[in-house]
Chain A
Amino acid sequence: MVRDTVIQWRARLSRYRLVGGKCRECQKAFYPRVKSCPYCGSRSVDDVELPRVGRLVAYTAVYSVESEARSGSPVVVGLVDLGVARVVSEITDVADPDKLERGSQVEAVFRKLYEDGDEGVIVYGVKFRPRR
């Protein structure tokens, strides 16, 4: 769908560079960037570039995958703590998910997210990988 591609284009700033929002009123940061604070409802929000290294709070290996991910099963997904904010992300470059360690460091990398089925457009963005 073309519309899908436009949505991806609009979201590129958040997705390519890990740009989130920081609230001037409650001081909380969040991802992705929007003009309103999901915590307190304030409209005083500034763009903020989030740290690219974080800590793996929890992770899972998904086997009941959706149609676009059938070749990549299992998909490893993590909850990553970047200090100022948390994000949900795919964890890439994992040879054996059972060897991942909770609390270990992960870093942002730029990767292909998926291929848009109808248009063949490849969508890119940030994923995280274990830090060596």
Chain B
Amino acid sequence: MSVSVKSASMVRVGRHYKVGVDDMVVEVADEALSDAGWRKPDAIVVSSVVYPRLSGQSDLASYVASSLGFQGVSAVAVEAGEASGLAAAMTAARLAAEGRRVLLVGVDKLSDAPSSVIYKVLKGVYHMGSDGWYMISHSAIPGLLADLYMSSYGVDRNTLSYWPALMHSHAKLNPYAMLRFAVNPEAVASAMPVAKPLTMLDSFPLGDGAAAITLAPAGDGGGIATLAAVESAVGPMTVAHADDPLDMPAVRAAWGKVKSATGVNSVDVMEIHDSYTIMAMLILEALGLSERGKAAEQVALGKFSQGGEGPLANPSGGLKARGHPVGATGVYMLAELALQLAGSFPGVRVDGARSGLAVGINAHGSTAYSALLVSSN
């Protein structure tokens, strides 16, 4: 399965009080379709998580297709919690591989409700038949894992703080990022606590966003990048069932499937799911890019920064600073990587990058998706 990415578009992640989901979708869909040279697609695949739960809208894909005036197209929404964007890409890629011109849209709206309501909605990404009985919000499990990580490996709080600082340094240059300002590592530990030991500066801002890419069969010609593979794997739904809560077997399995499908074993650039600093550390380790317990130290030493050994991590600024408009996040990752490989990402760029990896997870890794993009020239 290899399909062509024809175009990519995004709106800046932020609190867009005056703009609804419909308007954000029109903006990214029109730009993506126009750049692809299409009037309308054969199929539309939509990813959204918070908006359908707040608004009560079912069959959001038909709602979106209908409001865009695409009568007669196939429309389907895909949901996999926080990994929805890449799950939708998995479906979109297979529809494209069968010969269709596909519009993939990720859209979400987190500014329509107070943060405590958003946290209640987002708690649903965890096991609602046990952990969800308690007031775990969205951050309790990451907080537990951070506590366990620090005590198991003897990593101190300040070593973890280099990740958010790196993400902010990238977001500062990304016009689509929500938080475009620098943060010193020293500021992270003393920021407002979210779930101790994690602070506000370890976690994502609540923002709205929309992103779109167009996908066509590989033989279609042109395109800004090639989507070589999208694979996924399920892990334990609760950390209580994990043999080792600091392992992310789903991430390793999804990346393993991509490696065996494509023969590609390393990449130049990646966008990974850093909903909280601890998640980035566990993903880097599950991908085999760092030894267990060593990711934070390697981040601090610049391994994943520009000019480091690489691969460069999250030139977008990541969920931490670009933002995490939940259902849209995976589509942002793909749009950013496609532009990166085309040499036209308007921020931190990897010169001559030939391959990019997107890694999305739900919650603590109850599912993981892995998408490989390669340069199309």
Interface residues, chain A, CB within 8 Å of chain B? Answer: 11, 14-15, 30-32, 34, 38-39, 57-70, 72, 74-75, 77-79, 85-90, 97, 102, 113-114, 123, 125, 127
From residue A128, how far is it (CB to closest CB) to chain B in Å?
10
With a CB–CB cut-off of 8 A, which chain B residues contact A70? 116
Contact of B134 among A57, A59, A74, A90 (CB under 8 A): A90
Q: Are A62 and B139 in contact (CB under 8 A)?
A: yes
Which B residues between 106 and 161 are near A, CB-CB below 8 angstroms? 114-117, 119-120, 123, 129-131, 133-141, 143-148, 151
Q: Are B144 and A58 in contact (CB under 8 A)?
A: yes
With a CB–CB cut-off of 8 A, which chain B residues contact A89? 134
Q: Given that A58-B144, A66-B123 are contacting pairs, would A38 and B241 also be in contact in the complex, using a CB cutoff of 8 Å?
A: yes
> How far apart sit A11 and B200, CA to CA, in the bound complex (Å)?
34
* Residue B264 interfacial (CB < 8 Å): no
With a CB–CB cut-off of 8 A, which chain A residues contact B141? 77, 88
With a CB–CB cut-off of 8 A, which chain B residues contact A66? 116-117, 119-120, 123, 135, 137-138
From residue B322, how far is it (CB to closest CB) to chain A in Å?
20
Q: Given that A60-B196, A70-B116, A85-B240 are contacting pairs, would A32 and B130 also be in contact in the complex, using a CB cutoff of 8 Å?
A: yes
Q: Which residue of B lies closest to A38 (CB)?
A: B241
19 further contact pairs, Cβ within 8 A, besides A86-B241, A88-B131: A32-B129, A38-B237, A60-B144, A60-B196, A60-B198, A61-B193, A66-B119, A67-B120, A69-B137, A70-B116, A75-B135, A75-B136, A77-B140, A79-B144, A79-B240, A87-B240, A88-B239, A102-B147, A123-B133
Q: Are B137 and A65 in contact (CB under 8 A)?
A: yes
With a CB–CB cut-off of 8 A, which chain A residues contact B129? 11, 32, 34
Interface residues, chain B, CB within 8 Å of chain A? Answer: 114-117, 119-120, 123, 129-131, 133-141, 143-148, 151, 192-198, 200, 203, 236-241, 245
Q: Are A88 and B195 in contact (CB under 8 A)?
A: no
Contact of B245 among A65, A75, A79 (CB under 8 A): A79
Q: Which residue of B lies closest to A11 (CB)?
A: B129
> How far apart sit A61 and B143, CA to CA, in the bound complex (Å)?
8
8 contacts between A and B (CB under 8 A): A31-B240, A60-B198, A61-B193, A62-B139, A66-B137, A67-B114, A75-B137, A79-B239
> How far apart sit A78 and B151, CA to CA, in the bound complex (Å)?
14
Q: Are B196 and A61 in contact (CB under 8 A)?
A: yes
Contact of B119 among A64, A113, A114, A123 (CB under 8 A): A64
With a CB–CB cut-off of 8 A, which chain A residues contact B198? 60
From residue A53, how far is it (CB to closest CB) to chain B in Å?
17
Q: Are A67 and B116 in contact (CB under 8 A)?
A: yes
> How far apart sit A98 and B355, CA to CA, in the bound complex (Å)?
45
With a CB–CB cut-off of 8 A, which chain A residues contact B138? 64, 66
Q: Are B236 and A77 in contact (CB under 8 A)?
A: no
Q: Are B148 and A62 in contact (CB under 8 A)?
A: no
Q: Are A63 and B245 in contact (CB under 8 A)?
A: no
With a CB–CB cut-off of 8 A, which chain B residues contact A59? 144, 147
Q: Are A88 and B238 in contact (CB under 8 A)?
A: yes
Q: Given that A88-B131, A88-B141 are contacting pairs, would A62 and B195 also be in contact in the complex, using a CB cutoff of 8 Å?
A: yes
Q: Are A63 and B194 in contact (CB under 8 A)?
A: yes
With a CB–CB cut-off of 8 A, which chain A residues contact B245? 58, 79
Q: Given that A62-B137, A79-B240, A102-B151 are contacting pairs, would A67 and B195 also be in contact in the complex, using a CB cutoff of 8 Å?
A: no
Contact of B120 among A68, A77, A90, A113 (CB under 8 A): A68
Q: Are A72 and B131 in contact (CB under 8 A)?
A: no
Q: Are B135 and A62 in contact (CB under 8 A)?
A: yes
> How far apart sit A114 and B131, CA to CA, in the bound complex (Å)?
13
Q: Are B144 and A88 in contact (CB under 8 A)?
A: yes
With a CB–CB cut-off of 8 A, which chain B residues contact A97? 196
With a CB–CB cut-off of 8 A, which chain B residues contact A14? 130
From residue B189, how far is it (CB to closest CB) to chain A in Å?
14
Q: Which residue of B lies closest to A30 (CB)?
A: B241
Q: Are B144 and A77 in contact (CB under 8 A)?
A: yes
Q: Are B196 and A64 in contact (CB under 8 A)?
A: no
> How far apart sit A38 and B237, CA to CA, in the bound complex (Å)?
9
With a CB–CB cut-off of 8 A, which chain B residues contact A123? 133
Q: Are B117 and A67 in contact (CB under 8 A)?
A: yes
> How far apart sit A103 and B28, CA to CA, in the bound complex (Å)?
51
From residue A84, how far is it (CB to closest CB) to chain B in Å?
12
With a CB–CB cut-off of 8 A, which chain B residues contact A86? 239-241
Q: Are A60 and B146 in contact (CB under 8 A)?
A: yes
Q: Are A72 and B144 in contact (CB under 8 A)?
A: no
> How far apart sit A57 and B236, CA to CA, in the bound complex (Å)?
18
Q: Are B148 and A58 in contact (CB under 8 A)?
A: yes
Contact of A57 among B120, B137, B146, B148 (CB under 8 A): B148
